[in-house]
Chains A and B, each alone.
Chain A
Amino acid sequence: MTEIDFLNWVRGPGFQIATIIFVAGVLIRIFEIILLGRKANLAEAKGSEMSSGLRTIVTRSVPQADSFKRSTFTIVTGYIFHIGLFVTIFLYAPHILLIKDIVGISWPALPTPVVDAFAVISIISLLAILIHRFSNKVLHYLTNFEDLLVWFVTIAPLVTGYIAFHRIGFTAPTLLGIHILSVEILMIVFPFTKLMHAFTLFMARWYNGAISGYRGVES
């Protein structure tokens, strides 16, 4: 297999396999969760479920003062790498082209050096998160294999993408192929791990808000 064969495979059948597993995995899990249903609440509703649910989706994005004080490092680095991921995935011109090719919609990109800077910041914050995970005794105790796997498949596309853009070490087709492959691994691992939070997060927040709304209390 030549490096161009490899590149063509990850751009073709490899991407197809990853898409099938990603889409099927995510949808089946979401359907299962929604269809599980809840017992009918026989108590009288004291407020709106919907408005409280929707509000909570937004308000939970802002950390509360006491929890921010308690876990400043986790929250700050968490925010940095999530914003960095968003910028590198959705505001880099070649990625927008990929999305346009699949979904049909596109938007303006950020200048490449800006995206590059965001990628570096994300990589640094993810490394800091790993160091923190091992240096903090409680976090270390709670860490299992899945946590490390999820960390690895998240940082891998960032690192391989950075290397591919700057063309360090190997030849360009190999570097680009490895980058695309790392994304495919992320897509395959996604539905079966806590990475699913990217979708379930909103459902969970809405539900928390909805329970409070029904009871007429602040969420």
Chain B
Amino acid sequence: MTNKFDDKNKTLGDTLRSRGISRRSFLKFCAATASMMALPPAMIPKVAHALENAKRPSVIWLSFQECTGCTESLTRSHSATIENLIFDSISLDYHHTLQAASGHAAEAAREAAMEENHGNYILVVDGSIPMDNPGYSTIAGISNYDMLMDTAKGAAAIIAVGTCATYGGIPHAKPNPTGAVSVGDLIKDKPIINVPGCPPIPVVITGVVTHFLTFGTIPELDHIGRPKVFYGQSIHDRCYRRPFYDKGLFAETFDDEGAQKGWCLFKLGCKGPTTYNACATTKWNNGTSFPIEAGHPCIGCSEPDFWDGGGFYKALSMPTENITQTALYTAAGAAAVGVAAGALNRAKKNAATKAHPNTTIEDLEK
């Protein structure tokens, strides 16, 4: 067994070798990662070199109002993938689901990591932060807000994982009973990488970490803080069912002829056209498939407020509110107003007719 000191000084390359990862499969991983991040092939050796020699960075993972689905996504891959070995190879100093310690010991580990690596550790956050009442979600008696602000101070960068941490997610859905906000709503003075998804794709999480280890910088982000390499294209634009959309061939129900033939799921509520994520390209479960391939429309989980889009099975062209009711009530009201206005107009006309002086022959002869 290695002692704590040795373990900290081991490079990622050392760790991977000790786990039995061959040089060949390591380089394959680097090539795949480089291509995923749209880097030229010449960068592969750089990625490999940087990863091999990277010291295990300290990572503090804070879980707030969340369901642990993001952690599950990362750790429950059906076989030990190289991605989760990379993830094993960072020094995960605090993660209250995965760590053995609990209570005061766990908090002590977090404080120690913060002190030892001040200014250099990566802070990963999943879950939203309740602002209505700090008591809605606490860890060791510390409110989520206090813990986030305190831990963020010494972080080199913050990775917000999952839609709850990035945009508020499900806790933020109407009527937002806890006053949930995202990490980006609270922290303005640190680089934040948003990795949304419910949950996010595991390789996207490791891809972001790899980028940080390789270049020491955060990847290029889009207008809502997502790495462009993974969130640069919509599901719709990369969807293998796209030709059916263009031809106007849609599945109307989940078991009709169109569904069996694999036609477009737009009419069944697919949010692919307005959702930016890498599902259609990297796919899930080690590249097996993604929701649309399994016959279910995209629910748009990597976009803000995806929970409030009027229902997962409502097509994008449909209104989110009950417009039939609005139109009927308005029509009833307008009919009444129209009749009243008509009656007023008639009264006015009759009054004008009455007030109009009749001209007689005598008048004309005057």
- Chain B contacts of A29 at CB under 8 A? 338
8 Å CB contact of B346 from A5, A7, A35 = A35
Q: Provide the bound-state CA to CA distance between A102 and B320, in Å.
A: 11
- Chain B contacts of A24 at CB under 8 A? 330, 333-334, 337
Task: Let me know if B319 and A98 touch, CB within 8 A.
Answer: yes
- Chain A contacts of B266 at CB under 8 A? 93-94
The contact string, 1 if C-beta is below 8 Å from chain B, for chain A 71-112, is 000000000000000000000011101100111100001111
8 Å CB contact of A19 from B247, B303, B309, B330 = B330
* Chain B at the A interface: SS class: helix
Task: Let me know if A98 and B318 touch, CB within 8 A.
Answer: yes
Q: Measured between C-beta atoms, what is the minimum distance from B352 to chain A in Å?
A: 13
Task: Let me know if B316 and A112 touch, CB within 8 A.
Answer: no
- Chain B contacts of A15 at CB under 8 A? 319-321, 323
Enumerate B151-185 residues with CB–CB distance to A below 8 Å: 167
Q: Is B305 at the interface (CB under 8 A from chain A)?
A: yes
Q: A8-B308, A15-B321, A171-B276 are in contact. Are A176 and B303 (CB under 8 A)?
A: no
Q: Is B341 at the interface (CB under 8 A from chain A)?
A: yes
- Chain B contacts of A93 at CB under 8 A? 248, 250, 266-267
Enumerate A1-22 residues with CB–CB distance to B below 8 Å: 2-5, 7-8, 11-13, 15-16, 19-20
Q: Is B21 at the interface (CB under 8 A from chain A)?
A: no
The residue on A at minimum CB distance from B234 is A172
Q: Is B335 at the interface (CB under 8 A from chain A)?
A: yes
Task: Let me know if B247 and A5 touch, CB within 8 A.
Answer: no
Q: Provide the bound-state CA to CA distance between A153 and B148, in Å.
A: 48
Q: Is A36 at the interface (CB under 8 A from chain B)?
A: yes
Task: Let me know if A35 and B318 touch, CB within 8 A.
Answer: no
The contact string, 1 if C-beta is below 8 Å from chain B, for chain A 158-179, is 0000000001000111001000
Q: Measured between C-beta atoms, what is the minimum distance from A153 to chain B in Å?
A: 19
- Chain B contacts of A172 at CB under 8 A? 234, 236, 273-274, 276
- Chain B contacts of A3 at CB under 8 A? 224
Q: Measured between C-beta atoms, what is the minimum distance from B323 to chain A in Å?
A: 5
- Chain A contacts of B248 at CB under 8 A? 93, 109-113
- Chain B contacts of A102 at CB under 8 A? 319, 323-324, 327
Q: Measured between C-beta atoms, what is the minimum distance from A104 to chain B in Å?
A: 8
- Chain A contacts of B273 at CB under 8 A? 172, 176
Which of A15, A16, A29, A36: most chain B Cβ within 10 A? A16
Enumerate B267-288 residues with CB–CB distance to A below 8 Å: 267, 273-274, 276
Q: Is B64 at the interface (CB under 8 A from chain A)?
A: no
Q: Measured between C-beta atoms, what is the minimum distance from B178 to chain A in Å?
A: 19
Q: Provide the bound-state CA to CA distance between A93 and B349, in Å.
A: 48
8 Å CB contact of B320 from A12, A20, A95 = A12
The contact string, 1 if C-beta is below 8 Å from chain B, for chain A 54-76, is 00000000000000000000000
Q: Provide the bound-state CA to CA distance between A115 and B29, in Å.
A: 46
- Chain A contacts of B300 at CB under 8 A? 4
Task: Let me know if A97 and B323 touch, CB within 8 A.
Answer: no
The contact string, 1 if C-beta is below 8 Å from chain A, for chain B 222-243, is 0110000000001011000000
Q: Provide the bound-state CA to CA distance between A209 and B314, in Å.
A: 45
Q: Is B199 at the interface (CB under 8 A from chain A)?
A: no
Task: Let me know if A23 and B327 touch, CB within 8 A.
Answer: yes
Q: Provide the bound-state CA to CA distance between A27 and B248, in Å.
A: 35
Q: Is A42 at the interface (CB under 8 A from chain B)?
A: no
Enumerate B306-357 residues with CB–CB distance to A below 8 Å: 306, 308-310, 314-321, 323-324, 326-327, 330-331, 333-335, 337-339, 341-343, 345-346, 349
Q: Measured between C-beta atoms, what is the minimum distance from B181 to chain A in Å?
A: 13
- Chain B contacts of A104 at CB under 8 A? 324
Interface CB pairs A-B, < 8 A, 29: A3-B224, A8-B320, A11-B320, A13-B321, A16-B319, A19-B326, A27-B335, A27-B338, A28-B341, A30-B338, A31-B335, A35-B345, A36-B342, A93-B250, A93-B267, A101-B315, A101-B318, A101-B319, A102-B324, A109-B248, A110-B248, A111-B247, A112-B248, A113-B247, A113-B248, A167-B234, A172-B274, A172-B276, A176-B316
A-B interface, 10 closest residue pairs, ranked by CB to CB distance from nearest: A31-B338, A35-B342, A94-B317, A27-B334, A24-B334, A12-B320, A112-B248, A173-B274, A23-B330, A101-B318
